[in-house]
Amino acid sequence: MFIYSLRASTLKFFGIVCVALAALITLIAFVPAYASGDSSPSGGVGTQAQTPVVGENSVTYNYDKVKSADTAAQFLAQFGWSVDAGSAECREVTIPAEFDKVFAGYNELQKSQGLDLSKYKKKELTRYTFTVTNYPKVSGTDYSGTVYANVLVYRNRVVAGDICSADVNGFIHGFEK
């Protein structure tokens, strides 16, 4: 006759292993998968594009391969913006570790266009700023002030940006007209 005995510590060990395995399988099943072009700060730069759906038509914009002011201007051209290439300003900016009220509001603007700066806290980004030359009419009159386009890039991928006026009581909105 064969007799096998288990101690309570052995049962606890196998119980913990089973629970951990079940949790791992649950996480794998329910956490969204990312394509090989991971857009996270620690991942590589891929060739993902965002596709906002407007009515029945969908438009695809390419947010990758922005390596210079020229390619940033080409990125803005996807949205219909013409910019003065001679006005291009390139600066390194660091996203703060904690967002204040103003920066949190700016990030809400980014989220509304499918981007999120919270992934890039403490990261150094490149900001390209241009003067927009074809800002449309507002309320039947031409907007006479200066309009800027800002494009924030991390590892050759656009991660944020806006179209804004230079006026104190001006406006700011996303890339789309």
- Ordered by start, the domain boundaries in the chain are 63-173
What DSSP designation does 112 have?
Answer: H
User: What's the pLDDT score for residue 98?
Assistant: 94
Rounded to the nearest 5°, which phi and psi values hold at 106? Answer: -65, -40
User: What's the pLDDT score for residue 46?
Assistant: 44
User: What's the pLDDT score for residue 24?
Assistant: 81
Question: Which residues of the chain fall short of a pLDDT of 50?
Answer: 34-48, 51-55
User: What's the pLDDT score for residue 50?
Assistant: 52
For residue 35 the two structure tokens come to: 């394509």
**Long-range contacts of 39-42, Cβ-Cβ distance < 8 Å, separation of 24 or more:** 39/157, 39/159, 40/119, 41/119, 41/120, 41/123, 41/154, 41/155
User: What's the pLDDT score for residue 85?
Assistant: 85
Rounded to the nearest 5°, which phi and psi values hold at 153? Answer: -125, 135
User: What's the pLDDT score for residue 53?
Assistant: 43
